[in-house]
Amino acid sequence: MTDMTAPLPTVDSRARRNVIVLVIAQATIGSQMPMIFTVGGLAGQSLATNPCLATLPISLIVLGSMCAATPLSAIMQRFGRRTGFFVGAGAGVLGSATGAVALYLASFPLLLLGSFITGTYMSAHGFYRFAATDTAPPAFRPRAISYVMAGGLLSAAIGPNLATMTMGATVIPFLGTYLAVIVVNLIGATVFLFLDIPRTAPVPAGGDGGRTRWEMLKTPRIAVAILCATVSYALMSLMMTSTPLAVVGCGFAPTDAGHVVSAHVLAMYAPSFFTGFLINRFGVEKIMGLGLAILLCAGLVAMSGVELTHFFIALMLLGVGWNFGFIGATTMLTASHTDAERGRMQGLNDLILFGGVTLASLSSGGLMNCSGGTPQEGWNAVTMAMAPPLVLAGAALLWLVLRPEARRPG
């Protein structure tokens, strides 16, 4: 635990430069995710013949992320972070272009294909947090992760506002947003030219390549970190996927949905300025536990009513809870594997993570549109589904805290 008056750890110029580059990337190219999440369900609703499938485009993005996690991690391990991030930006361009064509042709299957391709960008985006730690000293890693995540504040301002400005800019609804996402990818990707992260040295023949994936999963600290990260991200996706449909379904305008999503994304990233300090000050387990508790509060507020104020408060609490839970779990994970294990562990983590998020996103649309006769009943079903995963993650974290021998990194 770090004293509040302790000075910041010494950080070399390369580590600072990489954090700055990743903050800019998070702020610019990262703005496409709130754009897509704002209009994806509404675009799906406009093309799908079955309302239960309205959020399927968003679910396909997450499924694509899950499928891309392991290959992208291997690419980064072999060719470097920069190459992997360029691959992700290229997928963002291709996926958005496919989505634009789908809207022009009114083709729901083509929209799903574009969403799946976009998932490769979302997966690459998830590795920004890991890249922030590659050249950072151990004591600076929580702050490095937090600073990169804090770049999302600008993406929260840019993304939903761009979505609001462009969703009605063309005769075909939402087409303008997908075209804007193409431009965001092309411009934002240039920042990766300034990234300076060395490739991981290959393990020499007969050398120690570290633990197998199964051995790492059996490490209590790694298992709990993956579980808490997955639950935090999955529950965030569960609620956010349905939010635009719930807001519009309860009688508010699509622009109101955009403003709610914007407030949510702001709440996701604003705490990042001090999350790293809180982790160093109070311990990663306490901050993760606080995140899970705030996620519970988000669900309770969402169930208490469907006025616009309820949506704003619930989604802002959801963002803060995700921030504490997800950054805490990422910090715990990065301290629990070696450099040689990095590619395997981070790819496996995001495979499991996005697998859980895919399940949550798929469930969200069904719960929202097919579990009740009104949007309010569907929204209540979404929020009630948060309870079991929260109980599971909270119990696992409590078990880790109460068993000191299980808290060892390896």
Report residue 201's pLDDT band, with 50, 70 and 90 as the boundaries: low
* Residue-level pLDDT at 409: 54
Residue 2, pLDDT above cutoff 80: no
Residue 170, pLDDT above cutoff 70: yes
CB neighbours of residue 109 within 10 Å: 9
Residue 7, pLDDT above cutoff 60: no
Q: Do 55 and 37 form a contact (C-beta atoms < 8 A)?
A: no
DSSP letter string, 267-293: HHHTTHHHHHHHHHHH-HHHHHHHHHH
Using a pLDDT cut of 70, give the percent of the chain over it: 93
- What is the CATH number assigned to the segment(s) 13-198+212-407? 1.20.1250.20
pLDDT in tens, 43-96: 888 888 887 787 788 889 988 988 998 899 889 988 999 999 999 999 999 999
Measured CA to CA, the distance from residue 228 to residue 184 in angstroms comes to 31
* Residue-level pLDDT at 183: 94
pLDDT in tens, 244-262: 888 988 888 888 887 888 7
Measured CA to CA, the distance from residue 353 to residue 325 in angstroms comes to 13
**Stretch 342-368: mean pLDDT, rounded?**
83
Mean pLDDT of the residues in the chain: 86
Report residue 408's pLDDT band, with 50, 70 and 90 as the boundaries: low
* Residue-level pLDDT at 4: 35
* Residue-level pLDDT at 22: 94
**Stretch 13-18: mean pLDDT, rounded?**
88
**Stretch 165-178: mean pLDDT, rounded?**
89
Buried b (16+ CB within 10 A) or exposed e, 36-54: bbbbbbbbbbbbbeeeebb
Burial of 239 (0-12, 13-18, 19+ CB in 10 A): buried
pLDDT in tens, 137-151: 888 888 888 888 888
* Residue-level pLDDT at 249: 87
List own/partner pairs for 183-186 with CB under 8 A and 24 or more apart: 184/28, 184/29, 184/31, 184/32, 184/35, 184/92, 185/29, 185/32, 185/89, 185/90, 185/92, 185/93, 185/96, 185/121, 186/89, 186/93
Enter the pTM of the model: 0.76
Choice among 96-100, 167-171, 180-184 with the minimum mean pLDDT: 167-171
* Residue-level pLDDT at 186: 94
Q: What is the residue extent of each domain of the chain?
A: 13-198+212-407
Report residue 410's pLDDT band, with 50, 70 and 90 as the boundaries: low
* Residue-level pLDDT at 173: 87
pLDDT in tens, 302-318: 999 989 999 999 999 99
* Residue-level pLDDT at 6: 44
Q: Which two tokens stand for residue 177?
A: 């947003």
Residue 214, pLDDT above cutoff 60: yes
Residue 240, pLDDT above cutoff 80: yes
Measured CA to CA, the distance from residue 409 to residue 401 in angstroms comes to 13
